[in-house]
Amino acid sequence: MSVVLDHVTRVVDGIPTIRDVSLTFQRGTLSVLLGPTLSGKTSIMRLLAGLDKPTTGRVVVDGKDVTGADVRQRSVAMVYQQFINYPSLTVYENIASPLRVQGKPRDVIEKRVAEAAKLLRLEPFLQRTPLQLSGGQQQRTAIARALVKGADLVLLDEPLANLDYKLREELRAELPRIFEASGAIFVYATTEPSEALLLGGRTVCMWEGKALQAGDTAIVYRRPETLRVGQVFSDPPMNTVGIEKRGGNVHYADSVTAPATGLYAGLADGDYRVGFRPHQLGLARPGVSQSGHAFAATVEVTEITGSESFVHLARDEANWVAVLHGVHEYEPGEVLDAVLDPANVFVFDAADRLVAAPAS
C-alpha cells in the first residue's frame, strides 16, 4: 500500500496552511512530521485521514484518487495528544470497540485484543477502566485500539505531548518495536527533534506549511539541505554567525579573524552563513587555552537540568546557546570564551543552501 500527497495545498479563510506539499508514504514505514506549532503537521494528517479536502492537489491511495472520499471510506486510525478512551468501558472493551463496530466474530476479537494487549504490555490491566490507569497506560490503550482496528494508515498526532517525562521516555523507547510489529503505514507528528531521532525511520521537516526536506532521519539530521531545516532539526535551534572567506582566512561578522581550517579550508572566497548546534559549542574562561575559534560572550542565564546545562550567551550579532554535559554554574554577566571547532560546523551559502557539513 502507498499513500501519496500530490502537490496538495490547503487554504483556510484565505490563509494557506499547506503549501504545495508532495509526499509518499509506503507500507511498513514510519514517517515523522517534525516542526514547530502551526508548521502544518496536523493539517497534513487531516488530509491523509480524509477529515479535510485539499484546496488544490490530490490524495492518492494505491494509485486511486481518493481526494474527495469520506474518512469512513478509508482504512485509517488516529491517536491524538489527549488519550481518548471510553471511561465506562474496561481496557479490554476499549480495545475491542472498533472490532465490534466492524462486526467481527468473538474469537477474532479475543485473538486480536490479546495480541494488541501483549504488544502494548497491557495484559495485567484489561479488566480495569481508564480512570484506574496511569497516563502512559491510557495512551497505550488508545494506541492498542488504533492498532487492533487493522488500519492500513495509523496517524499519531503528538501522542506523548501530555505525558510526564518518565512516561514519555518509556513509550518512546517502545514505539519503534510496536511500529515494526504492526506493518502499517505510520505517520507520527512531533515538535521535538530528539523524538524524531529516537524513532528513526523517515523525517519530514515542516515549516509554515511547507515540507522543507524529507528523507532518512539520520541523513536529514546530519545534512540539512538549508539553514531552516538545520534550525528545525535542532533543540535548542541551531546557532548562526556570518562569515567572509578570503584566501587563507575567515572573517566572522563580529570582527574575529581566524585561519580557514577545517570545513572552511575548501570554501571558495565569498560570504556564508555558519550554523552549529548548541552541543557543538564549547565554553571556557578567558585565558584557558582552547582548540578552535574563540568569541567573547556574556552569560545571560544558565539552566541546569541535572544531566545537562543550557548556557544562554549574548553577543554583538546574535544570542547563542551552549549545551554542556553535567552541571556547570556561570554567573549572569560573566564573560566567557565561546569556542567553535571549524570541523564541526554547517556552512550555508547566500541562499541558505548547505555547502559543507561535518563528517558525522
Question: Which three cell numbers mark 30?
Answer: 514510519
What integer is the mean pLDDT of 126-148? 89
pLDDT at 317: 67
How far, rounded to the nearest angstrom, does the alpha carbon of residue 154 sit from its chain's CA centroid? 17
Mean pLDDT over the full length of the chain:
92
Encode pLDDT of 115-124 as tens digits.
Answer: 889 888 899 9
Q: Which domains does the chain have, with CATH numbers?
A: 2-232 (3.40.50.300), 239-356 (2.40.50.140)
What integer is the mean pLDDT of 316-340? 92
Q: Give the count of beta carbons closer than 10 Å to the beta carbon of residue 314.
A: 14
pLDDT at 166: 76
Q: pLDDT tier at 316 (50, 70, 90 boundaries)?
A: confident
pLDDT at 10: 97
Q: Give the count of beta carbons closer than 10 Å to the beta carbon of residue 100.
A: 11
User: Which of 46-50, 131-135, 311-315, 354-358 is predicted with the least confidence, judged by mean pLDDT?
Assistant: 131-135
Whether the per-residue pLDDT at 109 is higher than 70: the answer is: yes
**Residue 258 dihedral angles phi and psi, to the nearest 5°:** -145, 160
What integer is the mean pLDDT of 271-300? 92
Q: Is 1 helix (H, G, I), strand (E, B) or coil?
A: coil
pLDDT at 24: 97
User: Which of 51-65, 231-245, 315-329 is predicted with the least confidence, judged by mean pLDDT?
Assistant: 315-329
How far, rounded to the nearest angstrom, does the alpha carbon of residue 153 sit from its chain's CA centroid? 19
**Residue 244 dihedral angles phi and psi, to the nearest 5°:** -125, 120
Question: Which three cell numbers mark 40?
Answer: 502544518
Q: How far is CA 131 from CA 120, 138, 141, 255, 332, in A?
A: 18, 8, 12, 61, 46
Encode pLDDT of 214-268 as tens digits.
Answer: 999 999 999 999 999 999 999 999 999 999 999 999 999 877 899 999 999 999 9
Locus of grid cell 548548541: 278
What integer is the mean pLDDT of 24-51? 94
pLDDT at 28: 87
Q: Concatenated DSSP letters for 279-312?
A: GGEEEE-TTS--SSEEEEEEEEEEEE-SSEEEEE
Question: Which three cell numbers mark 236?
Answer: 535548542
Q: At residue 292, what is the residue type?
A: G
Whether the per-residue pLDDT at 289 is higher than 80: the answer is: no
Nearest partner of 96 among 116, 82, 74, judged by Cα = 116
